[in-house]
């Protein structure tokens, strides 16, 4: 199959899987808590339902509320094109580095915060300030981690790093690789607002972060925001799969895609297990968790430089 076709097939698959993964996490959690799990297709149903609904916009809201949902989604869609390839021989963008990806994610978060502030409710402002607090702490660790992995892979471009890792796995740098993986997993949880940092299912004013910002959003706009959240998860999961579980792309393309989907579901399962087993952290303890992520990211770099292990 041609390289470009595989590239677009992978992206389409990721877009298709994005709501499925979040419903899967929810289902696993409910099943482990002895509840009757939601259907795995619930994400699509919610999306379809929100598309049919009328969208109500607050009288105080400015034009930003109409524009921002698209601008929340757009950078994430762009990032989808820059991810490491899931199949060997597929087309990929080699020159985009960690800073670009982190910057695009931050741009999406910025518009989400603007949206929260624009609704002029007290919840929106609160959620936006919390989101700013968390994402400011995530960024240094994120850059350090992807930078460390890029050093091990021998290329600063994220896509190229994934290809290099799949072709020649640096087993002599296994220790620093492991530290980077731990750090990145903590970041995955923090950026996607999963349980130790934020509870995506609650509407309690003390704990809301993401939900507080989108409390006033309805209809199509809510559908856009929700799909942005699921795309963000799939981006992080596929970054984890591409950089830290670099096996599988050398197989024949249907099999390689299957392995890729399996890895995404494995990441989702790990997130679900962590969610069931831990309590949500108080907001002012979140810096401690992200500090641990920074420690591991830094450790990965110094282990690589000083020990070469």
Partner 1 sequence: MVDFLIGLFLATLITALFTTRLYRLLFWYALNSLTLGLLALTIGSRLHDRAMLLSGALTILLKAGVIPYILKVLSRKFELVRQIPPSIKTQYAIMLVPAILVFTFYLAEPISHMVQGNANYVAVSISSLFLSLLLMIEHRNVAPKIVGFLSMENALFLLGTTATEGMPMLVELGIFFDLLMAIVVINLLLYREEAQS
- Which position among 74, 178, 258, 274 is part of the footprint of partner 1 (CB under 8 A)? 178
**Angle of the 122-153 helix axis to the 158-167 helix axis, nearest 10:** 50
Q: Rounded to the nearest whole angstrom, what is the least distance from the CB of residue 249 to partner 1 in the complex?
A: 21
Contact 47, 19 (CB under 8 A): yes
Q: Rounded to the nearest whole angstrom, what is the least distance from the CB of residue 309 to partner 1 in the complex?
A: 4
Contacts of 214 (CB under 8 A, 6+ apart): 112, 115, 116, 222, 225
Distance between CA 296 and CA 301 in Å, rounded? 9
Helix (H, G, I), strand (E, B) or coil at 95: coil
Q: Does residue 177 interact with partner 1 by CB under 8 A?
A: yes
- Which position among 174, 204, 252, 255 is part of the footprint of partner 1 (CB under 8 A)? 174
Distance between CA 75 and CA 80 in Å, rounded? 9
Residue whose CB is less far from partner 1, 90 or 153 = 153
Q: Does residue 138 interact with partner 1 by CB under 8 A?
A: no
Residue whose CB is less far from partner 1, 114 or 188 = 188
Q: Segment near partner 1 (CB under 8 A), from 19-27, 65-73, 109-117, 286-294? A: 286-294
- E strand or H helix at 81, and its extent? none
Q: Does residue 299 interact with partner 1 by CB under 8 A?
A: yes
Q: Segment near partner 1 (CB under 8 A), from 74-82, 115-123, 254-262, 284-292? A: 284-292
Q: Segment near partner 1 (CB under 8 A), from 147-155, 168-176, 251-259, 261-269? A: 168-176
Q: Does residue 94 interact with partner 1 by CB under 8 A?
A: no
Residue whose CB is less far from partner 1, 81 or 298 = 298
Tokens, residue 275: 């969610």
Contact 218, 53 (CB under 8 A): yes
Q: Which residue matches tokens 């309805």?
A: 218
- Which position among 60, 172, 201, 250 is part of the footprint of partner 1 (CB under 8 A)? 172
Contact 19, 231 (CB under 8 A): no
Length of the chain: 309
Q: Rounded to the nearest whole angstrom, what is the least distance from the CB of residue 171 to partner 1 in the complex?
A: 7
Residue whose CB is less far from partner 1, 15 or 292 = 292
What are the helix (H) ranges across the chain?
Answer: 3-32, 42-52, 64-80, 98-118, 122-153, 158-167, 174-191, 210-213, 219-244, 253-277, 286-302
Q: Which residue matches tokens 């949206």?
A: 115
Q: Which residue matches tokens 């509840």?
A: 35
Dmax (CA) of the chain:
60
Residue whose CB is less far from partner 1, 4 or 309 = 309
Residue whose CB is less far from partner 1, 52 or 306 = 306
Helix (H, G, I), strand (E, B) or coil at 154: coil
Q: Does residue 298 interact with partner 1 by CB under 8 A?
A: yes
Q: Rounded to the nearest whole angstrom, what is the least distance from the CB of residue 303 to partner 1 in the complex?
A: 8
Q: Does residue 294 interact with partner 1 by CB under 8 A?
A: yes
Name the site residues for partner 1 (rule: CB under 8 A).
Answer: 171-179, 182, 287-288, 291-292, 294-296, 298-299, 302-303, 306-309
């Amino acid at each position: 199959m041609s390289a470009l076709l595989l590239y677009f097939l992978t992206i389409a698959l990721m877009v298709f899987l994005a709501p499925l993964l979040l419903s899967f996490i929810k289902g696993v959690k409910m099943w482990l808590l002895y509840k009757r799990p939601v259907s795995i297709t619930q994400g699509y149903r919610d999306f379809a339902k929100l598309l049919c609904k009328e969208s109500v916009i607050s009288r105080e809201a400015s034009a930003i509320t109409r524009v921002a949902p698209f601008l929340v989604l757009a950078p994430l869609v762009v990032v989808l094109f820059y991810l490491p390839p899931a199949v060997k021989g597929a087309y990929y963008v080699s020159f985009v580095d960690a800073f670009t990806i982190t910057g695009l994610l931050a741009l999406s978060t910025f518009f989400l915060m603007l949206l929260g502030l624009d609704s002029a409710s007290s919840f929106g402002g609160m959620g936006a300030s919390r989101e700013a607090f968390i994402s400011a702490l995530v960024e240094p660790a994120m850059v350090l981690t992807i930078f460390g992995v890029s050093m091990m892979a021998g290329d600063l471009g994220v896509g190229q790093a994934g290809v290099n890792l799949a072709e020649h796995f640096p087993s002599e740098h296994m220790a620093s690789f492991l530290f980077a993986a731990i750090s990145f997993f903590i970041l995955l949880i923090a950026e996607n607002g999963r349980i130790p940092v934020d509870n995506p299912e609650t509407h309690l004013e003390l704990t809301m972060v993401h939900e507080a910002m989108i409390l006033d959003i309805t209809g199509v706009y809510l559908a856009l925001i929700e799909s942005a959240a699921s795309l963000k998860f799939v981006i992080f999961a596929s970054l984890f799969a591409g950089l830290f579980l670099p096996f599988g792309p050398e197989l024949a393309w249907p099999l390689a895609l299957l392995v890729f989907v399996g890895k995404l579901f494995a990441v989702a399962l790990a997130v679900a297990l962590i969610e069931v087993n831990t309590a949500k952290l108080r907001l002012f303890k979140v810096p401690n968790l992200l500090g641990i992520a920074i420690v591991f990211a830094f450790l990965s770099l110094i282990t690589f430089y000083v020990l070469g292990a």
